[in-house]
Homo-oligomer: A and B are copies of this chain.
Amino acid sequence: MPKPRLDVLCIGNAIVDVIANASDEFLAAQGLTKDSMRLVDANEAKRLYDHMQPAREVSGGCAGNTAAGIAALGARVGFVGQVAPDQLGEFYRHDLRSAGVEFTTPAVDIGVPTARSMILVTPDGHRTMNTFLGAAQQLAVEMLDEEQIRAAGILYLEGYLWDPEIPRYAMVRAIEVAREAGRKVAFSLSDLFCVDRHRDGFTALIDGGRVDILFANEAEILAMGGVPHLETAIAAIAPNVETLVVTRGAAGALAIRGSERADIAAERVREVVDTTGAGDLFAAGFLYGEASGKSLEQSLKLGAICAAEIIQHYGARPEEDLRALAGELVD
């Protein structure tokens, strides 16, 4: 097996975040489920946007955020995702490339704009996402660069890719290519409701042994395990993957690999401004650790440091120097 040219290749929905403050009353009046992500069509996107406060736009998308974090830590990383040839698509490409991420998927003009997620941030820093997938849902198998997939030590995919049909096929193919090349496959369950929507598909992936590293938060692992107790859910899922990583917000995180287990506390933060991207950046830190041969506990610690940085400002791409924050944990 040749030495990987990239440490990690991330595949996901290429989404620009449109971030606005909102009250809990606004969420209730709009019938939105706090902390969750829902998919909206063009009409609902327009309707909701018309009611939202002034916003800021920042490149996002779970796997894109993870890629930006990995690059900020100094590893070699690529991203695969679909944008349209429009202003948002230009911003998206610029923001990834200037962060040091290899992003070669061409824009496609299929009459729909680049995806955006309208993110409502409540005063407690929690975020509620309303995503119009637009061009992102057109990421086709043909857009994959199989050579690039074979050249990456770890292939990382977000569960959200399972929502639109076309990218789902691309994702399955990408996993196949990676496994045939002897590479590792990492996968995030993305969201509680995403697990609900795609339980069978995710179960087939995991139980079929096609996921080496599985990322989940507490709600997602409980939903996936189908039981109301964390340790029971972990005991049910962990044997089916090489490594299981569970993030628990302010309660820290844990990882299990065979008979090995590590538990860590969350990093202390001054103020939680916007939790968007916490899980994505945790994955970035952990995957950086994995790619550079760190221990399970060190990789978790790297994840916690990156997550702590991202929740202290608006937007899900790092603003502080992650390498400096990680100190001697980076090479």
Residues of A within 8 A of B (CB): 18, 21, 49-59, 68, 86-88, 91, 94-96, 98-99, 113, 315, 317, 319
Contacts and interface: CB of A to CB of B under 8 A. Distances in A.
B54 A57 contact: no
Contacts of A86: 86-87
B98 A54 contact: yes
A25 to B, nearest CB: 16
Given A50-B94, A87-B88, A56 B58 contact: yes
Contacts of A94: 49-50, 52, 54-55
11 contacts: A51-B98, A52-B98, A53-B98, A53-B99, A54-B68, A54-B94, A54-B98, A55-B91, A56-B57, A56-B315, A87-B113
A18, A55, A86, A96 interface centre (most CB from chain B within 10 Å): A55
A99 B95 CA distance: 27
A235 to B, nearest CB: 41
Contacts of A56: 56-58, 315
A319 B51 CA distance: 17
A51, A91, A317, A319 interface centre (most CB from chain B within 10 Å): A91
Contact of A99 (B49, B54, B58): B54
A63 to B, nearest CB: 16
Contact of A54 (B49, B53, B54, B59): B59
Contacts of A55: 91, 94-95
Contacts of A96: 54
Contact of A58 (B51, B52, B57): B57
Nearest to A52: B98
A316 B235 CA distance: 51
A135 to B, nearest CB: 12
Contacts of A53: 98-99
Contact of A57 (B21, B91, B319): B91
Nearest to A101: B54
A61 B26 CA distance: 29
Contacts of A50: 94, 98
Contacts of A88: 87
A40 to B, nearest CB: 16
Given A18-B91, A54-B98, A57-B91, 10 more contacts: A53-B98, A54-B59, A54-B68, A54-B94, A54-B95, A54-B96, A54-B317, A56-B315, A57-B57, A87-B88
A241 to B, nearest CB: 32
A163 to B, nearest CB: 23
Contacts of A317: 54
Contacts of A52: 94, 98
A6 to B, nearest CB: 19
